[in-house]
Structure 1
Amino acid sequence: MVMLTYMDYINQLDQNSHESYALVNPHTKEEIVRIPECPDDQMEKAIQKAEIAFGKMKSMPAYERSEILDRSARVVSDYKNLFAETIAKESGKPMKYALGEVDRTVQTLKFSAIEARKLEGESIPLDAAPNGAGRDAYTIFEPIGVIGAITPFNFPLNLVVHKVGPAIAAGNSIIVKPAEKTPLSAILLREALVEAGLPEDAYHVITGDGPRLGQVLLKSNVIKKLTFTGSPEVGREIKSQAGLKKVTLELGNNSALYIDKSQQDRVKDIAKQAVTGAFSYNGQVCISTQRIYVHKNLIDPFLEEFKSETEKLIYGDPLDQTTDLSNLIDEPSQERLLEWISEAEKSGAKIVTGGTQVNGGLKPTILKDVKPESKIYKEEAFGPVVIVNTVESGEEALESINNSQYGLNAGVFTNDMKQALQFGHELNVGQVLINDLPTLRFDHMPYGGRKNSGYGYEGVKYAIQEMVNRKMISLNYTF
């Protein structure tokens, strides 16, 4: 097996790029490598090559696509440490979480391999309609063509594979424009898939300025679908300009959690889980637990345990497997969070712990009694900050959770079945997790948001359904 490396592909890109930029480790501030600033025509050539490769992909039998995906899962697993170290270096993600991201990527590739064999249509009883007798009809699914994917920095491998795996499973080709700060993981994933037998031009990674290269994807008539994970502002712009292209948008969020009075015997366990939900990868997770509502009967014991567990977290080098927290992705993120914390304090919120910077990071911060008009309450923090507010009842918690521009995940801890069902039905979010944190995602589950949290669905099976065209075929056997 050939040793995987991102340098060969970077060198290929560099041959057609006249400029480059320094990719910097967000923790050490050291340069990792120079990344090609690909010009527009380089993206256009990649689109042309991907269109040709689509001819191979759409005629490739489903079992072959499945076997490629299955082999690629083994390649990624074999190079687990390389992938994890790459994630840790380019994104600053602590190794314990980077290793978990690689494991999830392997699972996503395996799910994609399974679903590649399962894309099934249905029979249509045309004789249910007048004059429909004498006809057999059925539906099939066909790949749509070249897919453009724009991905963020926070899960530089698994959020890429959530677009690439389903695209390949369905028989499409794909071009990934990764975040400028984290392109290496996407390139390594490409090398793993090519090593597993994927045609070289079926998956391109084009590096450089996102808004500029994104416009090339938007304007191309060859691109049949855009799938984007990022900010609501950019998502709205993409949707407004996409025309008749298919679009999937995974956007912002500020996940909420309610802890009911029935949980008095589980406060300690829930507090430990909430620490993971709020502060994993410095809170730079779109389903990070950001708003916690606690019934008044449990607020004091919960805050005591939550504070105690939070203060045990270790700040350090991402490559050290004991590290829980490291630097944020950049200084503007740090400055923004400090401003939002200060604003909340001035409005009457109290800092339970944290609230100050540590090198390029932020001490894990718990705020209580935060007003709904505060930015840290209503916007997406995307950092190690969580608010804990007291509520008088489940009804108040339900109203507070729904009082948000976002609607991706929400969690509820309760022993009351009636209350669980009420929250399940009345929460205006895409996924409701009963007796789990909102910071929960399995890679085969449907995953999509409401309101400003997105449009369309991911999750392997559900992503594939948005990457195909349905066709009905009718046979008139009486003619």
Structure 2
Amino acid sequence: MNKIIETSKKYLLINGKKVETANYSPLYSPYSGEMIAEIALADEKLTKDAISSAVEAFKVISVMPAYQRAEILEKVVELLKERAEEAAEVISLESAKPITFAKAEVARTIETYKFAAEEAKRIHGETIPFDAAVGGVGRIGFTVRKPIGVIGAITPFNFPMNLVAHKVGPAIASGNSIVLKPASQTPLSALYIADLFQEAGLPDGVLNVVTGPGGVVGEAIIQDDRVKMITFTGSPAVGIGIRNRAGLKKTTLELGSNAAVIIDKGIEIDKIVDRLVMGAFSNQGQVCISLQRVYAHKNVYDELVEKLTTAAQKLKIGDPLDPETYISSLISKSETDRALGWIEESKQNNAKILAGGKTENGILAPTVIVDVDPKQKVSCQEVFAPVVIVNKIESIEEAITYVNDSQFGLQAGIYTENIHEAFKAADHLEVGAVMINDVPTFRVDQMPYGGIKNSGTGREGLKYAVEEMTEMKLIVVNQG
């Protein structure tokens, strides 16, 4: 077992100190069921202590020169490069993410902190031409961006290192302090990164990690007036609750999707099937932009279904630490049971299961379904499992209508050789991002990332997150 995660107690990190708690919760591997750590459970008082620590540390980080904030982030980049293998094992052990994908997540995390370091150096405003107004003659004005204070960050289990980076990186780059509540199943990645930040010289209290139940820790963060912004990735139900209780706090909410791709006639299926497999089944489908719905033109539908089914059946299922494994356990048995229930519901409504639909040694096999009623949960809700449904369409217009008939709108894709159809999709798809000739599962870490409808509000991506985590201030000089 990774020496960093040998079974031991894991403490809170408050004001640069490891803090013990009265109660601990065992953390089990989703794959093996073995206990891998005991996790401290914070109460409301300890959470408020972390916020107090962040309030004091904000006085330090907010006046730290940009180059110094960038140097700390660069140092984390170097430390994480040195320990990339170890970091990937941490992710894999606590989340059952296959090690190949865990390594890719570490590589992206390194890149995310690198982008954060670069953005720290280019936070700037603009000059305003005041003499464009009659009353503005004789004045000059300019804007600056100021850090807002304590950021409350609540992160999910599916990318436990990189989605922490998307909140911690821009917060530090822009001179804010953070109270971080990681997902209960994946706190080890967050604690691992917090240790690297301490080693990199981040002042005490700038990053505090508070583990424990959302109803206690998360609620204390949301309700505390000293917290100026909540950045949350998770379910729509929880996100909407946060928005309702956050008052005038800023909120960035990334709340998932049931992402779709349209495949036009004339597309060579052999060239895209591997990409579809990655989109649908990487990280067991536990990706906010996982490919869940495929709308294939009738001319390519049969070939696509056959080749996607064959490819799904070839994926290796098993131990996440085996480099050959493509599919491992979902984050919990209850999530596996839920996904199986949704598959069974579609089957009862005349859908056909062409691959998967059952577990192998407790692992849900990659599943391909056709003839699904769009009102079934596997189509209209977020399945968050290795499940993809394929639908036959007559035209791009029909497919766009189906894609848009969703409570979600994060990302969508279209494969087409017709530039007019590509731009039609780009114009009419009701999503935050459209991928032309790619799956909706595409993301690089500097791009603006976020959605509309129940997929959330605000944008991540380093430059855009920095904008969310700063306030614009206008300075006007009367030159007499």
In the aligned structure 1, how far is the partner of 2:390 from the partner of 2:83?
A: 40
Aligned: 1:198 with 2:199: no
Mind listing any 5+ residue stretches in structure 2 that lack a counterpart? none
| Partner of residue 386, structure 2 | 384
- 2:370 maps to a residue whose letter is K
- 1:461 maps to a residue whose letter is K
In the aligned structure 1, how far is the partner of 2:19 from the partner of 2:145?
A: 39
After superposition, the C-alpha distances for 1:107-166 in whole angstroms (9 at most, x for unaligned) are: 000000111001110001111112211111100000000000001100000001000000
Q: Output the TM-score relative to the length of structure 1.
A: 0.97
In the aligned structure 1, how far is the partner of 2:383 from the partner of 2:160?
A: 19
After superposition, the C-alpha distances for 1:34-88 in whole angstroms (9 at most, x for unaligned) are: 0011111111001001111100101100111111111111111111011100000
- 1:312 maps to a residue whose letter is K
Percent identity, aligned pairs only, is: 47
| Partner of residue 289, structure 1 | 291
Conserved in 2, the CA contact under 8 Å of 1:262 and 1:416? no
Quote how far apart the aligned CAs of 1:262 are. Answer: 2.3
| Partner of residue 443, structure 1 | 445
| Partner of residue 359, structure 1 | 361
SS of corresponding position for 2:152: strand
Runs (4+) of structure 1 exceeding 4 A deviation are 3-9, 11-15
In the aligned structure 1, how far is the partner of 2:190 from the partner of 2:405?
A: 36
Quote how far apart the aligned CAs of 1:252 are. Answer: 2.1
Q: Superposition RMSD on alpha carbons, in Å?
A: 1.4
- 1:90 maps to a residue whose letter is E
Conserved in 2, the CA contact under 8 Å of 1:407 and 1:453? yes
| Partner of residue 454, structure 1 | 456
SS of corresponding position for 2:159: coil
After superposition, the C-alpha distances for 1:286-334 in whole angstroms (9 at most, x for unaligned) are: 1100000100000111111111111110011111111101111111111
Select which of 115, 122, 132 maps to 2:119: 115
Aligned length: 474
Conserved in 1, the CA contact under 8 Å of 2:12 and 2:211? no
Quote how far apart the aligned CAs of 1:203 are. Answer: 0.3
- 1:10 maps to a residue whose letter is Y
SS of corresponding position for 1:85: helix
Quote how far apart the aligned CAs of 1:5 are. Answer: 7.8
In the aligned structure 2, how far is the partner of 1:413 from the partner of 1:433?
A: 9
Quote how far apart the aligned CAs of 1:100 are. Answer: 0.2
In the aligned structure 2, how far is the partner of 1:80 from the partner of 1:261?
A: 42
Quote how far apart the aligned CAs of 1:359 are. Answer: 2.3
Select which of 125, 139, 156 maps to 1:152: 156
In the aligned structure 2, how far is the partner of 1:272 from the partner of 1:443?
A: 22
Select which of 125, 138, 153 maps to 2:142: 138
In the aligned structure 1, how far is the partner of 2:12 from the partner of 2:400?
A: 53
**Compared CA separation, residues 52 and 5, structure 1 to 2 (3 A):** farther
- 1:82 maps to a residue whose letter is E
| Partner of residue 220, structure 1 | 224
Q: Output the TM-score relative to the length of structure 2.
A: 0.97
In the aligned structure 2, how far is the partner of 1:341 from the partner of 1:67?
A: 49
SS of corresponding position for 2:205: helix
Select which of 309, 312, 315 maps to 1:313: 315
In the aligned structure 1, how far is the partner of 2:12 from the partner of 2:180?
A: 17
Select which of 79, 87, 94 maps to 1:90: 94
SS of corresponding position for 2:27: strand
Name whichever of 105-114 and 358-367 sits farther off: 358-367
SS of corresponding position for 1:441: coil
- 1:177 maps to a residue whose letter is K
After superposition, the C-alpha distances for 1:344-391 in whole angstroms (9 at most, x for unaligned) are: 111111111111112222011000011111110100000011000100
- 1:36 maps to a residue whose letter is A
Conserved in 1, the CA contact under 8 Å of 2:152 and 2:229? yes
**Compared CA separation, residues 457 and 12, structure 1 to 2 (3 A):** closer
In the aligned structure 1, how far is the partner of 2:464 from the partner of 2:99?
A: 30
| Partner of residue 184, structure 1 | 188
- 2:271 maps to a residue whose letter is D
SS of corresponding position for 2:299: coil
Aligned: 1:424 with 2:426: yes
Conserved in 2, the CA contact under 8 Å of 1:72 and 1:109? yes
Select which of 315, 320, 326 maps to 1:324: 326
Mind listing any 5+ residue stretches in structure 1 that lack a counterpart? none
Conserved in 2, the CA contact under 8 Å of 1:444 and 1:460? yes
**Compared CA separation, residues 256 and 98, structure 1 to 2 (3 A):** same
Quote how far apart the aligned CAs of 1:11 are. Answer: 7.3
In the aligned structure 1, how far is the partner of 2:250 from the partner of 2:203?
A: 24
In the aligned structure 2, how far is the partner of 1:109 from the partner of 1:9?
A: 24
Name whichever of 216-225 and 352-361 sits farther off: 352-361
